[in-house]
Amino acid sequence: MELSFESLETPALTKAQLADLLFEQIGLNKRESKDMIDAFFDLIAQSLVDGTDVKISSFGNFQIRTKAPRPGRNPRTGEAIPIEARRAVTFHASHKLKEQIQGVSNPKVDN
């Protein structure tokens, strides 16, 4: 099934737009579409909070990375500030996604 993104007005794809696409192209009602999108992202977020990596076939991997504490600096004042240890989410695109991206010409680069 091919999804059409021609109706997108902004360069970013939002959850509301995803729900609209499910409604228009799959036939779910608007409430079911919104609930499905919310449940999908809630599941991903909760898995990451729990420390579980999320792997989406042919798309990529979301992983939790623990960053060590390190010295930092306030750019305005130059004052040394310690940066505490934290957890951050990283995303690594799959080879298939990378190939798809490389296969599409970039209109900003191509003239």
Q: Which CATH class is domain 13-52?
A: few secondary structures
- CA dist., res. 104 & res. 13, Å (int): 18
Question: Rounded to 5 degrees, what are φ and ψ at 86?
Answer: -155, 165
Taking all residues of the chain, what is their mean pLDDT, rounded to a whole number?
88
Whether the per-residue pLDDT at 107 is higher than 90: the answer is no
Judge whether 13-52 and 53-105 match in fold. yes
Bigger pLDDT: 106 or 40? 40
Is it the case that residue 79 has pLDDT exceeding 50?
yes
> Can you list the pairs that 51-56 forms with residues at least 24 positions away whose Cβ atoms lie under 8 Å?
56/94
**Burial class of residue 44 in the structure, from the number of CB atoms within 10 Å of its CB (0-12 exposed, 13-18 middle, 19+ buried):** middle
Q: Where are the domains of the chain?
A: 13-52, 53-105
pLDDT in tens, 17-60: 999 999 999 888 999 999 999 999 999 999 999 999 999 999 99
111: pLDDT confidence band, cut at 50, 70 and 90? very low
Q: What is the pTM of this model?
A: 0.70
Q: What is the pLDDT of residue 105?
A: 56
CATH superfamily of 53-105: IHF-like DNA-binding proteins (4.10.520.10)
Indicate if the pLDDT at residue 108 is higher than 60: no
Q: Which residue has the higher pLDDT, 83 or 27?
A: 83
Q: Residue 97's pLDDT is what?
A: 94
How many Å apart are CA 88 and CA 109, to the nearest integer?
Answer: 31
